[in-house]
Amino acid sequence: MSNHAQVDKPFPQTQLKTLSGDEVTLGKPQNDRWQLVVVYRGLHCPICKKYLGQLNAMKNELEEMKVDIVTVSTDPKEKARKFAEELGLDIEVAYGLTIDRARELGLYISTPLDSAETDQPFAEPGLFLIRPDGGLHVSEVSSAPFCRPDLEFIKMGVNYVVEKDYPPRGIG
């Protein structure tokens, strides 16, 4: 894992376009805030739709904790837009994460099972909590769509980390 994003080290900065027409830099939180980066599999994934729908409902609570949410997939703009519109997402949606960059982040990569699933390799789920200084504080990656951290636990944990200045774990 030494070539991947590591806890308590600077998160590899990645600049991406967003559906709002802006650009966002993963790993570069703004205005002394935290950044929660959630990687989803793409338009083809019904579990992602449920998960990001739940995350979207938590937006205001996380913003009050000084946490900005950025979701991203390897999907191109058109698929990301359709995904966001189907869900009515109010959270930042970035698109076009490259497979090479996804690997650098330590994400698992899958090839489609068939053309009904999707038409390109894609990143499996990942969740990264990045401190205001750009350091990776929490990392969770999965090799399957159904293994993801419970968002209520994430919200409680983020609140605890931010309020209590809880240190990163698993670094030694």
Q: Per-residue pLDDT tens for 75-94?
A: 999 999 999 999 999 999 99
- With a CB cutoff of 8 Å and minimum separation 6, the contacts of 104 are 3, 4, 5, 12
Domains and CATH numbers, the chain: 32-141 (3.40.30.10)
pLDDT of 172 over the 80 cut: no
Q: Tell me the mean pLDDT in the region 99-111.
A: 95
Q: Tell me the mean pLDDT in the region 6-22.
A: 95
pLDDT number for residue 113: 84
pLDDT of 2 over the 50 cut: no
Range from 10-24, 44-58, 110-124 carrying the lowest mean pLDDT: 110-124
pLDDT of 167 over the 90 cut: yes
Q: Which pTM was predicted?
A: 0.94
